[in-house]
Chain A
Amino acid sequence: MLESDVVTPQPLLEAVDVHRYFGRRSPVRAVDGVDVRIEQGRSVGIAGESGSGKSTLLRLLLRLQETTSGTISHRGTPLAELSGERLAAYHRGVQAVFQDPGGSFNPRHRIRDVITEPARVANGLSSTQRVDLARTMLASVDLPMEFADRFPHELSGGQRQRVAIARALSCRPEVILLDEPVTALDISIRGTIINLLVDRANEGSVTYAVVSHDLTAIYHMTEYLYVMRRGVVVEEGPTAELIETPLHPYTRRLVDAIGDPLAGHRSAGERLADDDAEGLDERVPDLVEVAPGRRARLVRPEAAATQRI
């Protein structure tokens, strides 16, 4: 097979060696050298807990903040160079759904204004068009059309999240970045939202980047996973493999905690440790390929080979 036969398409969004520091004197290194690729048709998960930098990374990908160093590109064009029509195309192509509760919508706007905002900015709509579009979007996420006249606080959390998804989909984006999309919802309805999102992705029309500390949502929605801790990626690889056979101890801890919240603390009176006691400097081992398709920062990468099934 000739090299030239293999054509790698431009990723929808790509972050290359991105750093984001806050503050001047002893800066907080929120994101400290991260590479992430979101390719069409391959939904990506970015897992991590507080302080991991995942939310900052999300905001960088959404062009809501600027990188301290490193580049983020949309279809090959660095975000910092976008302007005019290309900037508009970026906004049409990249949308977001945030966590809610309560904060994702302007409390003074009715649902019909909220749900059609991206479309209005992209195309400009007359007021009848606005109402029609709102109704269509509501129907597409199984919400009654009367909701168009309501205010956000009159809807439940699950209903608001569906509105947020409909809004994100209204411009037919290529990629939707989701920040903790189901964390604030009741457990019994998380499935509804995840199913809705997965259906849309399966229809071929949209790719996701899901940022969450909830591995179960990521497990069901994504094909590739980055695990972040303290500003760096500690492990990455295909989602199912990573979760079924984690190689990095932090990933393993996250996975174990899901089925069993007491994992690691089963015995009574175990000496509890400070949060920072296991203060490894995450950056010390490099991020290298430790198994085919799997990269991780391991102190002893060779040991990983023995952990494969």
Chain B
Amino acid sequence: MTPLLEVTDLTVQATETGRNVVDGMSFEVHPGEVVAIVGESGSGKSSACLSLIGLLSRGLEVSGGSARLDGVDLMSLTARDWQGVRGAELGIIFQDSLAALDPVRSIGFQMAEARRMHGGADRRTARAWAEQRLEALGFSDPPAIMRAFPHQLSGGMRQRVCAAIAFAGGPRVVLADEPTTALDVSLQGRMLRLLLDETRNAGSGLVLVSHDVSVVRAVADTVIVMYGGRVLESGPVDAVLSRPRVPYTAALLESTPTLDPERRGLPLATIPGDFTPHAEGCPFRDRCAHATPSCTDAFPEGKSDEDERTYWCWNPMW
């Protein structure tokens, strides 16, 4: 199957310090596939996501690699080209739904606008589409929601609207940057279900950025584990999260607090130390129980195994 999105060796650099916040990242997204990028602060996961849609903040720039969406290299697009790509070919859902929506425009207006601009419909068709989507999304009074403003909706409702807007233009790939993090835990399931259904139905791809391993385990097909700008391990979610090869992945899984009665009363596992950026070698070495001198000298080459996962480690767990 040809991939919808093909990222090769993507490198994002901070212009002032010269540090690579994303360093040589490669992955593919196939139709109907959910690819999750999991990492913590400093991992580069958000920058990777934003670089794909050309929304890096000032001070960050793509310094190497490519990202091909249906053959078009996203890194070569001009600002004008982006107008035709964002929304129509590539959608995005942000973490903060209140900030993502225009506070002075009604929900109906914003949804219809997305549909008109990227789906090519006229105003009436677009509004009809919007109302129909709201019904499909489970809102019990779509006309009222159409007239409502973002601040009048709850967080969960807004985020669903944002998702509808992201999918409005029929994009090939949708990026979702921590879409459920700001939602109440009892609403996360609904949002994730929505994302899954939209992706599978449209045959598009979903790139889900998250710090929450259990979310990733629930919805992703493929997972990419990042630390300090590097991809340390990637592959089918079952292989990577159930039988991790890389110490960081294992430590991350181990240190995620659970409701396991056996663990109650015992000190929680944790990864000692704090994130310190390093230009050379493996970024996780200071906090890794398996580190050896070669980890400081150079970043390892990737190796693949029969589970179709790739890992970058001098001292894998197995």
Decide if A and B touch, CB cutoff 8 A: yes
A272 contact set on B, CB distance < 8 A:
137-138, 160, 190, 193-194
* B155 A50 Cβ-Cβ under 8 A: yes
Question: What residues of B have a CB within 8 angstroms of the CB of A270 in the complex?
Answer: 193
Residue of B nearest to A250 (CB): B186
- In the complex, which of the residues A51, A157, A187, A258 contacts B259, with contact meaning CB atoms closer than 8 Å? A258
Is the CB–CB distance between A216 and B274 below 8 Å? no
Range, interface on chain B: 35 or more
Contact with A along B177-210 (1 / 0, CB 8 A): 0001000111111101110110010000000000
State the Cβ distance, A238 to closest chain B Cβ, in Å: 12
> CA of A18 to CA of B190 in the docked complex: distance in angstroms?
33
> Do B259 and A243 touch across chains, with their CB atoms under 8 A apart?
yes
Q: Give every chain B residue within 8 A of A189 (Cβ-Cβ).
A: 255, 270-271, 274
Q: With both chains docked as a complex, state the minimum distance between the C-beta of A42 and any C-beta of chain B, in angstroms.
A: 15
CB contacts (< 8 Å) of B214 on chain A: these are 258-261
Neighbour of B219 across the interface among A262, A264, A273, CB < 8 A = A262
Bound Cα distance from A157 to B40, whole angstroms: 12
Q: Which residues of B contact A280 (CB under 8 A)?
A: none
**B316: which A residues are within 8 A, CB to CB?**
none
Question: Is B2 close to A, CB under 8 A?
Answer: no
Interface size on A, residues (CB 8 A): 49
List of B residues within 8 angstroms of A220 by Cβ: 257, 263-264, 268
Question: Which residues of A lie under 8 Å from residue B274 when comparing CB positions?
Answer: 156, 158-159, 189
Taken residue by residue from 167 to 195, chain A's Cβ proximity to chain B (1 for < 8 Å, 0 otherwise) reads as: 00000000000000000001111111011
CB-defined contacts of B215 to chain A, threshold 8 Å = 261
Contact of A217 with B180 in the complex, beta carbons under 8 Å: no
Partner of A259, one of B41, B157, B180, B258: B258
Contact partner of B270 (CB less than 8 A), chosen from A191, A264, A271, is A191
Nearest B-chain residue to A182, judged by Cβ = B257
Note all chain B residues with C-beta closer than 8 A to A277: 138, 140
Interface string of A220-257 (1 = CB under 8 A from B): 10000000000000000000100110000010011101
Give which listed residue, B187, B213, B271, contacts A275 with CB less than 8 A. B187
Q: Give the number of A-B contacts (CB < 8 Å).
A: 137
Q: Are the CB atoms of B259 and A219 closer together than 8 Å?
A: yes
In the complex, are the beta carbons of B157 and A188 less than 8 A apart?
A: no
State whether the Cβ of B293 lies closer than 8 Å to any Cβ in chain A: no
CB–CB A274/B189 < 8 A:
no
CB distance from A267 to the nearest CB of B (A): 9
State whether B257 touches A49 (Cβ < 8 A): no
**Chain A residues near B258 (CB, 8 Å)?**
216, 258-259
> Do A254 and B185 touch across chains, with their CB atoms under 8 A apart?
yes
Contact of A187 among B186, B213, B219 (CB under 8 A): B213
Minimum CB–CB distance from B239 to chain A (whole Å) comes to 20
Q: What chain A residues lie within 8 Å of B213 (beta carbons)? A: 187
Please give, as numbers and ranges, the residues of chain A lying within 8 Å of B261 by CB-CB distance.
240, 244
User: What separation, in Å, do the CA atoms of A157 and B197 have in the docked complex?
Assistant: 35
Contacts A220-B268, A272-B138; is A261 near B192 (CB within 8 Å)? Answer: yes
* CB within 8 Å of A: which B84-98 residues: none
Task: State whether the Cβ of B77 lies closer than 8 Å to any Cβ in chain A.
Answer: no
**Interface presence of B212 (CB below 8 A):** yes
Report B17 CB to chain A, min CB distance, Å. Answer: 15
What mask results when residues 150 to 163 of chain B are scored 1 for a CB within 8 Å of chain A, else 0? 00001111001000
Chain B residue at minimum C-beta to C-beta distance from A183: B181
Q: How far is the CB of A30 from chain B (nearest CB, A)?
A: 15
> In the bound complex, how far is the Cα of B272 from the Cα of A50, in angstroms?
32
How many Å from the CB of B216 to the closest CB on chain A?
A: 9
A295 to B187, CA, bound (A): 25
**Given A189-B270, A191-B268, A194-B268, are A257 and B140 also a contact pair (CB < 8 Å)?**
no
Q: B256 — nearest CB in chain A belongs to which residue?
A: A187
Contacts A49-B184, A272-B190, A272-B193 given; indicate if A260 touches B218 (C-beta within 8 A): yes
Complex Cα distance, B251 from A215, in Å, reads 21
Is A265 among interface residues, defined by CB-CB distance under 8 A? yes
Q: Which of A50, A158, A191 has the most CB of B within 10 A?
A: A191
List 8 A-B pairs, Cβ < 8 Å.
A159-B274, A187-B257, A198-B267, A220-B263, A250-B186, A260-B218, A272-B160, A277-B140
Q: A188-B251, A189-B274 are in contact. List 18 more A-B contacts (CB 8 A).
A: A49-B185, A156-B41, A187-B211, A189-B271, A220-B263, A220-B264, A257-B189, A258-B259, A259-B258, A260-B218, A261-B188, A261-B215, A262-B189, A262-B218, A268-B193, A268-B197, A268-B200, A274-B157
